[in-house]
Structure 1
Amino acid sequence: LGAKYPELELDDPTSQVLTLPQTRPTVMVGLHYILPVIVLVWCLMVERLSPGLSAFWATVFMIFIIVTQRPIIAAFRQRSKLAEDIKEGFMDLWDGLVTGARNMIGIGIATAAAGIIVGAVSQTGVGLVLADVVEILSMGNLMLILLLTAVLSLILGMGLPTTANYIVVSALLAPVIVTLGQQSGLIVPLIAVHLFVFYFGIMADVTPPVGLASFAAAAVSGGDPLRTGFQAFYYSLRTAALPFLFIFNTDLLLIDVGWIQGIVIFIIATIAMLIFAAGTQGFMIARNRWYESILLLLVAFTLFRPGFWMDRIHDPYQSVPPAQFVQALGEVDDGSNLRVQISGEDAFGDPLTTYILVPVPRGDTPEERMQELGMELVIDGDQAIVDFVEFGSLAADLGFDFDQEIIEVSAPVDRWAKEWMWVPGFLVFGLVVLLQRRRRNQQPASTATA
């Protein structure tokens, strides 16, 4: 297939690009270069070889392609000069090895510098006290907890390959958000926390001064490594809001949603991402005015997290006195959760105040549900104190323990679905579209008049 098209001319990197190459001839002439990728995937997924050995066989196959591509293509074009073509193939291989070695110099230096950071973190044990550091610096503020964890994920992810990156950030920083978040009233699924820290850990690949992916891209493009890194970091900041949405709106992760709701969320999230891109880049149908960019970002936020506005209109929970915990457990619907704040001591005897999301157990009466929960309470006036927790029960798995005091109980209430907030969001978006379309239609007339 590639032999049917003429050879591509080499570009002069110093010349100005005036015309773009045609897509089909460019792709077809170099279509055989995808074969090493297929070999790599085959070795990894089918042969179950190690990543290093898979990369080795893919590299060997790439060498074979470079050496043999000229004589094979020349034979299909019926102008074969076997000896000269094979000689040119080996010259291409030599040039590729020399260029690859030169490009690896910057990457090797960056990797060595990253090794110093990784070694300092692992040898000093600083990763073991990260929870204490975040707790002291955040002063219990939820957004500061997430921002500090994001920064630490960037630092710990420097210079690490993807698998090692996930292992480090999930082992060191995911428990930080889970522990401190529960104490601040944030209860999210563990998968959302892992995606949050992993996102910022991977973001370290394009973040100076270590950004290995940026250095590799600069080696290919011939650009300045640091400038490439800062530009890549600037572009990646536009998507830095996504992991925060994983935390505050778990519907985006399709957790506890049906098929129809999942499809609707996928469509709305796609539209929201396009609107967010239009707001951050300053252009949609026409160049944005400053207030239009703000409105677009507000619309994107509304589509991503409609529950934020619905919570302002109607509180999703109603407060129940702690002494009425058993009655509240019996009144809520099956499949619901009670939000309980408890006070007690941790495993080291230090004071602890945290939140627990209690799923409603099976049972027709409050007493049956309490028995299924595996916990007994002592009611002293307005106080509710945990008197007994059955070993291996649901209450024990949730974190209830002896002598803990239930400070607050919040029961869910019936209210409008949060998705209704999408309606005013789309109305505001329609207003921005109308303004920009009118302005775009007026531009040619004003230019002609001038």
Structure 2
Amino acid sequence: MRESQPRESGAQAILEKYDRESQFRLNLGKWGLIVTFLGVYLTVFHLYTGYFGVLPSQKQGAIHLGTALGLIFLLFPAKKGMQKHQKTVPWYDIILAFLAMYISYHKVIFLDSILQSRITGYHPFDMILSIVGILLVLEATRRTVGLPIVIVAGITILYTIFGKYIPTQLLSHPGFSIDRIATNLWYQESGVFGTPIQISSKFIFLFLFFGVMLVHTRIGAFFNDLAFSLTGRYTGGTAKAAVSASALQGMVSGSSVGNTVASGSFTIPMMKKAGFKPEFAAATEASASTGGQIMPPLMGAAAFIMMEYLGVDFSTIMLAALVPAMLYFTGIFIGTHFEAKKRGIVGLPKEALPNFKKLMLRNGYMLLPLIVIVGTIMIGFTPQRAAIIGIVSAYLISLIRKESRLSLKQTIYVLEEGARVALPVIAAVATAGIIAGVVSITGLGAKFATGIIALSGGILPFALMLTMVACIILGMGLPTTANYVVTATVAAPALINTFGLEPIAVHMFVFYFGIVADITPPVCLAAYAGAGIAKANPFRTGLNAVKLAIAAFIIPYIFIYDPILLLVDVTIPHFVLAVVTAFLGMLAVSSAMIGFFVSNSRIWERVLLMLGGLLMIHPEVYSNVAGFLLMAIVWLLQRNRKNGEVSQSAAV
């Protein structure tokens, strides 16, 4: 255990400010060994069950959550900033840690009698344990993730208790007693230990640990070098390299804020030095890093829960996410290109960049774990087995060179780090399980569906916009995984059942809009983190991030109306046409947002480009032709104007 882990003052300060996950204690005193033991134990437990087979879901989930809660109370202080001043773990957090572990492990030891109690009735002691357990989950979530999700969960619990007092017939229900709510949420499969925590204990932990292993094989530095070798010499090369590197790193880390700080500490100063405005440099990094959660193969933790909700294998989710993710990053890439053209920013000299051929010959083997994990999933291995094989391959690769080889002490640290990285996700999905449990108990999902239909008048575009707004608002306070659980439980069924939409398209729709909340003002934590590094205006950074990531606000509507981009009912001609027109549409839309195409665009030209782009993105032949004509008209006008300006300059 590293009790006094060195921290980079600038980057770490920004992480602590905007990323709740980074606000852990620096000094643990004698409890450092206990934290190391629990962290290593939790990781080894998941490696063992991932290879030899998981325990019954309630036992697996109880060990998963109970050990995580113990670690959270030992690592995360009750109040922000206290971690800098405490010399050890205070006595009250030690009590909470062991109380949380006892209550969770009680389920493991007495599971048979608890299952019997569903028929005979719960003992008063069981009721007390369930109430305390739920309170401890909420407090652990507040410490690791923040207060907003706890407020949402608290409101849903109050709704369950006092539903009969709600005057609106649409939302009212008979109400439930506190002991019934607590025992349902703690002991039944639809609450804390429901689908989200089960998926977390089976799949998510292992894939998060796989990401940790890749980081410790120095793959992040390799991704940066690879991105600069491929794109650094072109127009606006520093920004394009930042987008490429963040796409590569983001698909491993799955953290918007963490990836923004990790990559941005290096890329943002380079973009500023090249001539990009601070707000644009920060926005480029934030929007690209946020997209990591939708980038296969790993994506964010919510993708694994989507797999369970839809009843499909993970390879289906990966393939469905591939084309939209490529369009998302293409949109950002194009935006940086037009901004660089607008400002006359050229690429870096060739001699200042890594040589691609030499880089691949020396470090190309670092891509092997990603190839292995994709290959094993695609040929039909379970996600657990694929993750185990990926982890083993990453460890073996670390042995190739001395600088990446893990000693025994480093291996223990990596095992502990695997548990630490997972703690906020575990807490978030446990609280999301509370919210999902309330939806199940009260029938809130059906009530929400009725409300959406009533407000939208049964018109699909209005229903989609209302759902989008709900996802973004929830995403401002909830982590992506919890946001997805809530919206997939409440909103997705309404869209699927009422309008007959493709289930995977609807789930991807709510998944996307939960993610873009990280770059959507006024609460856009990834953009704020980038602004902190760039010393830029946070709100303007958020606006620039929305301009660059405009694809994320458009693409979900595309695959709702034409799921072929998700590889649903694919025919080659239709698929090729859909991808080409979507790409051209993104080109026009990005140009309109930046204000540059062949030359600086006038306002009416930007309007035509935006309209043309949207028409080409819409999956219909006549609209595609009309959009292409509008785009071609603007291109011809600007080219002639530019040629005229060049001629006048030559004459002078």
For normalisation by structure 2, the TM-score amounts to 0.37
* Structure 1 partner of 2:374: 41
Matched, 1:147 2:147: no
Listed as ranges, the matches of 1:11-410 within 5 Å are 13=266, 19-46=352-379, 48-51=381-384, 53-70=385-402, 89-90=405-406, 108=422, 110-111=424-425, 114-115=428-429, 118-125=432-439, 126-138=444-456, 140=458, 142-153=460-471, 159=479, 172-181=490-499, 190-191=501-502, 194-208=504-518, 235-248=548-561, 260=573, 263-305=576-618
Q: How many Å apart are 1:303 and its aligned residue?
A: 2.6
- Counterpart of 2:405 in structure 1: which amino acid? G
Taking the aligned partners of 2:398 and 2:566, their CA distance within structure 1 comes to 43
- 2:628 pairs with 417, 426, 445, which one? 426
Taking the aligned partners of 1:160 and 1:180, their CA distance within structure 2 comes to 25
* 2:401 alignment partner, SS class: helix
Q: How many Å apart are 1:31 and its aligned residue?
A: 0.7
Taking the aligned partners of 2:353 and 2:590, their CA distance within structure 1 comes to 25
- Counterpart of 2:514 in structure 1: which amino acid? A
Report the CA distance shift for 1:132/1:113 in structure 2 as closer, same or farther (over 3 A): farther
- 8 Å contact 2:516–2:552 — kept in the other structure? no
- 8 Å contact 1:153–1:169 — kept in the other structure? yes
- 1:436 pairs with 638, 645, 650, which one? 638
Report the CA distance shift for 1:281/1:128 in structure 2 as closer, same or farther (over 3 A): same
- 8 Å contact 2:519–2:545 — kept in the other structure? no
Taking the aligned partners of 1:446 and 1:103, their CA distance within structure 2 comes to 63
Report the CA distance shift for 1:30/1:147 in structure 2 as closer, same or farther (over 3 A): same
- Counterpart of 2:361 in structure 1: which amino acid? M
Taking the aligned partners of 2:609 and 2:592, their CA distance within structure 1 comes to 5
* 1:283 alignment partner, SS class: coil
Give the gaps of 5 or more residues in structure 2. 1-220, 226-264, 274-347
* 1:68 alignment partner, SS class: coil
Taking the aligned partners of 2:387 and 2:566, their CA distance within structure 1 comes to 32
- 8 Å contact 1:173–1:197 — kept in the other structure? no
User: Cα deviations across residues 390-412 of structure 1 (Å, max 9, x unaligned)?
Assistant: xxxxxxxxxxxxxxxxxxxxxxx
- 8 Å contact 1:174–1:194 — kept in the other structure? no
- Counterpart of 2:517 in structure 1: which amino acid? T
* 1:64 alignment partner, SS class: helix
* 2:388 alignment partner, SS class: helix
Report the CA distance shift for 1:306/1:151 in structure 2 as closer, same or farther (over 3 A): closer
User: Cα deviations across residues 277-307 of structure 1 (Å, max 9, x unaligned)?
Assistant: 3223322222222211110111122333486
Structure ranking higher in helix proportion = 2
Taking the aligned partners of 1:277 and 1:290, their CA distance within structure 2 comes to 14
User: Cα deviations across residues 86-136 of structure 1 (Å, max 9, x unaligned)?
Assistant: xx8346x8669768977986x556536633651342132144432133234
Report the CA distance shift for 1:257/1:127 in structure 2 as closer, same or farther (over 3 A): closer
Give the gaps of 5 or more residues in structure 1. 1-6, 71-84, 182-188, 308-418
User: Cα deviations across residues 401-447 of structure 1 (Å, max 9, x unaligned)?
Assistant: xxxxxxxxxxxxxxxxxx34555443332221122112333455666
Report the CA distance shift for 1:235/1:97 in structure 2 as closer, same or farther (over 3 A): farther
Taking the aligned partners of 1:67 and 1:449, their CA distance within structure 2 comes to 65
Bigger CA drift: 110-119 or 431-440?
110-119
- 8 Å contact 2:471–2:510 — kept in the other structure? yes
Report the CA distance shift for 1:268/1:160 in structure 2 as closer, same or farther (over 3 A): closer
For normalisation by structure 1, the TM-score amounts to 0.50
Bigger CA drift: 37-46 or 229-238?
229-238
* Structure 2 partner of 1:362: none
* 1:48 alignment partner, SS class: coil
- 8 Å contact 1:299–1:425 — kept in the other structure? yes
Structure ranking higher in strand proportion = 1
- 8 Å contact 1:306–1:422 — kept in the other structure? yes
Taking the aligned partners of 1:102 and 1:234, their CA distance within structure 2 comes to 36
Report the CA distance shift for 1:425/1:179 in structure 2 as closer, same or farther (over 3 A): same
Taking the aligned partners of 1:90 and 1:250, their CA distance within structure 2 comes to 45
- 8 Å contact 1:149–1:197 — kept in the other structure? no
Taking the aligned partners of 1:101 and 1:222, their CA distance within structure 2 comes to 28
User: Cα deviations across residues 342-386 of structure 1 (Å, max 9, x unaligned)?
Assistant: xxxxxxxxxxxxxxxxxxxxxxxxxxxxxxxxxxxxxxxxxxxxx
Report the CA distance shift for 1:119/1:29 in structure 2 as closer, same or farther (over 3 A): same
Taking the aligned partners of 1:113 and 1:447, their CA distance within structure 2 comes to 64
Q: How many Å apart are 1:22 and its aligned residue?
A: 2.7
Taking the aligned partners of 1:272 and 1:59, their CA distance within structure 2 comes to 40
Report the CA distance shift for 1:291/1:209 in structure 2 as closer, same or farther (over 3 A): closer
Structure showing greater radius of gyration is 1
Q: How many Å apart are 1:48 and its aligned residue?
A: 1.8
* Structure 1 partner of 2:9: none
- 8 Å contact 1:121–1:127 — kept in the other structure? no
Q: Percent identity?
A: 23
- 8 Å contact 1:153–1:200 — kept in the other structure? yes
Report the CA distance shift for 1:245/1:57 in structure 2 as closer, same or farther (over 3 A): closer
Instruction: State the Cα RMSD in Å.
Output: 5.0
Q: How many Å apart are 1:242 and its aligned residue?
A: 2.3
Taking the aligned partners of 1:55 and 1:31, their CA distance within structure 2 comes to 21
- 8 Å contact 2:615–2:627 — kept in the other structure? yes
- 8 Å contact 2:468–2:513 — kept in the other structure? no
Taking the aligned partners of 1:258 and 1:60, their CA distance within structure 2 comes to 38
* 1:286 alignment partner, SS class: coil
Higher relative contact order (CA 8 A, sep 6+): 2
How many residue pairs align between the two structures? 297
